[in-house]
A = this chain, B = another copy of it.
Amino acid sequence: MRETYRVAIAGATGAVGVEFLRLLEYRHFPISELRLLASARSAGKTMRFARREVLVEELTEDSFANIDIAFFSAGGSISKKYAPIAAQAGAVVVDNSSAFRMDPRVPLVIPEINPEAIAGHNGIIANPNCSTIIAIVPLWPIHRQNRIRRLIAATYQAASGAGAAAMEELRESTRAHLEDREYANTVLPHPYAFNLFSHNSKIDPVTGYNEEETKMVQETKKIFGDAEIRISATCVRVPVLRAHSEALTFECERPITPAEVREILAAAPGIKLIDDPVKNYFPMPKDASGQDDVLVGRIRQDISDPSGKSIAMFVAGDQLLKGAALNAVQIAEVMVAKALLQGAAAKR
């Protein structure tokens, strides 16, 4: 008989939480019990899972008794407080926040890149930042064959990265703009309708980079296991709902051609090549939304590097899926496949 697991979702009612429910159902994650956790404000609601209504409970210190795996997506401070409690109670936590990502005791995992890191966990596994995941899923197979020495990234990030309320603010402020009404933004720091702005995370006073950019730099080094890779990112929020795009320019150790990159990516998991210069059809948020794969296109030799070692390309990926919930569920699936989870049956 197939092993089944008792699963909790902390932050079940958020933009990522909703995707967790959907993914666990349609990917047939072997669930024996599902516990939906949220703030007191959302407790008492029900959410649909596998043709039944599941009650949302308030997240407390007692929420994780007899849980095998707990997905966290309720922000850094909730993770900081409750993830260790869940781990202590015996659950393996897959945490979507940035709280533990750079902790050397916590594996930071993208299953296409470093699934082997999962086994070394101490109760918490961190899910990387969305912009990092979407950039480096396609960079990794290239890096493995011809080490990437330098990456310059400019992001085009969707509202979803700031949560469901930010998506709603984008919709509502745009509606107001079109109707020539005033709109006072409350979720994001700047007007969002037909506007864009530098990512609204804190700027490091020494480097001048914001936290989102610094995450891309540090997390990539940790996930690649390569402290030498040099990265600069410019992270920008654009008025798009749920898929991030990124312009990536990278320099390899040895010369590399667009044809080689295409061949490498065509054989790599988690990637779909959308690269049609004749039809002018390339990765777009509208196509990436709802898709598991990261879309990659505009693959060309970087003409600003005469050494022939540099490539420019453009990627798009669903921020809520591969950028968040899907990657976390894939981590859990690796644990199931490798029997790294204590199943409910085993504990009974």
Contact = CB atoms under 8 A, between A and B. Distances in A.
Interface residues of A, number: 60
B156 A286 contact: no
A86 to B, nearest CB: 33
A303 B152 CA distance: 10
Interface of A is mostly: mixed
A104 interface: no
A225 interface: no
A195 B289 CA distance: 10
A241 interface: yes
Interface stretch (A57-65, A73-81, A171-179): A171-179
Interface in A191-217: 191, 194-198, 200, 202-203, 205, 207-210, 217
Contacts of A310: 232
A305 interface: yes
Nearest to A235: B247
A174 B178 contact: yes
A165 interface: no
A303 B196 contact: no
A205 B241 CA distance: 32
Interface stretch (A94-102, A106-114, A120-128, A277-285): A277-285
28 contacts: A150-B304, A152-B304, A178-B178, A189-B280, A194-B240, A195-B284, A195-B285, A196-B240, A196-B284, A196-B285, A197-B282, A197-B284, A198-B282, A198-B298, A208-B299, A208-B301, A209-B300, A210-B280, A230-B303, A231-B304, A232-B305, A234-B247, A234-B298, A234-B314, A236-B247, A236-B314, A238-B239, A238-B240
Given A178-B178, A196-B240, A197-B282, 8 more contacts: A154-B247, A156-B156, A171-B178, A194-B285, A195-B240, A197-B284, A232-B305, A236-B247
